[in-house]
Amino acid sequence: MLSAPVLASVFALASALVGAAPTGNLTASPPPQGGINTTADSPAPVYAPDSDFDYQSLALALHQEWIELDLFHYGLVRFSDAEFEQYGINAEQRSLIEFMADQEVGHATLISNMLGASGAPKQCTYNYSSAFETVPEYIDFCQRLTRWGESGVYGFLPHLDSRPAAQLLLQSITTEARQQMIFRQFEGLFPMPVYFEVGVPQNFAWTLLSRYITSCPSENKPLEWNIFPTLEVVNGPSGIDVGFQSEPYPSGGPAITHNRTALSYPGMQVELSWEAPGSVVGPYNQSTKVGAQVNLTNTTDLYVGWISQLNTTYTPLNVTSNMTGTTIQPNATVFEETPNDQIVNGTSFVVIVSNPLHVTPFNLSLINDYVVAGPALYQAS
């Protein structure tokens, strides 16, 4: 298992790996030298993709914005005012959900403008039948969907070839981070139980998102990100607590914060089930695939990657039968200096891999080659 001290040492060694680090003493007269495209003779910014990687990443982000726009409106129509009021979500709070839908119009417009009229994917059709049937389930799904939407952009943002496009997308995704926290507050959860928000690769976000899209306009170009086989946390903790959510504040219900006990704990046995590759899923009829370096045999050791905050931590997977197994939630902190910051916290990601590859936040996408199934969301707290 990769421990918090191991990860901390990687950051400490970063300057040694890249050569002499700046010391804080200026090497030339002010302003400080360095930075990219910060001078008057720098090229004018072009807010458009510079590569296939950029296009496909921005197109994925646009698919995410479109479903959020649909989802926020859908819930307000699907459920009556009385149903929302039963769980403490009053007219002012419903108005905030409506405003968040309006924000998605802006986000979708921004990305569509960067991709161009002929290249921007149009809005699709969606199916939430497996996602929620009640108001608490709807709010929970919104906080989970915005988690992978937010984390999915963090994962590719620093790798975009187009820095101008990255700047605009940054100013969009910071709004989504606020949305995710608000839905946690609506759910009665502690709003931000982590010290750092996690980023994940595009394949992770598309694997989670694609299952809720039934079809897309024929003019949409298919997304070229892989969809991994589905992973389910059978006994996963849930943020849904109908009794608590229906209690008036301060006993329960929506609030700026509730000081609640975590939903999971280190050492907890976690039961998993997963699918074999080869299912045809998503709006573009993609077949689910394992990672390119996965070579499964009856004797292949499998691991569970816990991806949360700055860490990817592995625990052994005990395969109990065909496509089922158990593992143990790890026990470590992000840094030795942060004893209250468990590495697995908040709405986290779990994935089954064939190789416990050492990765850090900037090169996490290397894990894609070894994914057997997942990710699934793990509601740690």
Report CA-CA distances (Å) from 29 to 26, 32, 39, 236, 316: 7, 7, 15, 57, 54
Asked whether residue 44 is assigned to any structural domain, the reply reads no
Q: Is residue 325 part of a domain?
A: yes
Torsion over CA of 350, 270, 197 and 275, rounded to 10 degrees?
20
What digits encode the pLDDT tens for the residues 69-118?
999 999 999 999 999 999 999 999 999 999 999 999 999 999 999 999 99
Decide if 363 contacts 341 (C-beta within 8 A).
Answer: no
Burial 82-101 (b: 16+ CB within 10 A, else e): eebebbbbeeebbeebeebb
Residues 268 and 263: their CA atoms lie apart, in Å, by: 11
| pLDDT (0 to 100) of residue 8 | 37
**Lowest model confidence (mean pLDDT) among 15-24, 85-94, 349-358:** 15-24
What CATH code is carried by the domain that includes residue 130? 1.20.1260.10
Higher pLDDT, 262 or 164: 164
Helix 163-186 vs helix 91-115: crossing angle, to nearest 10: 160
Confidence bin at 30 (pLDDT 50/70/90): confident
Q: Does residue 184 contact residue 255 with C-beta atoms inside 8 Å?
A: no
Given a cut of 90, whether residue 379 has pLDDT beyond it is yes
**Alpha carbons 352 and 349: distance in angstroms, whole number:** 10
Q: Higher confidence at residue 41 or residue 72?
A: 72
> Helix or strand or coil: residue 274?
strand
Whether 14 has a pLDDT exceeding 70, the answer reads no
DSSP-based three-state secondary structure for 345 = coil
In a domain, 207, yes or no: yes
Give the integer Cα–Cα distance in Å for 189 and 245.
10
Q: Is the dihedral of CA 182, 187, 188, 191 positive or negative?
A: negative
* pLDDT of 13 higher than 80: no
Residue 106 resides in a domain:
yes
Q: What is the domain range of residue 71? A: 52-253+261-379
pLDDT-derived band at 20 (thresholds 50, 70, 90) equals low
| pTM of the model as a whole | 0.93
Ramachandran area for residue 267 (φ above 0: left; ψ -120 to 50: alpha; else beta): left
Number of domains comprising the chain: 1
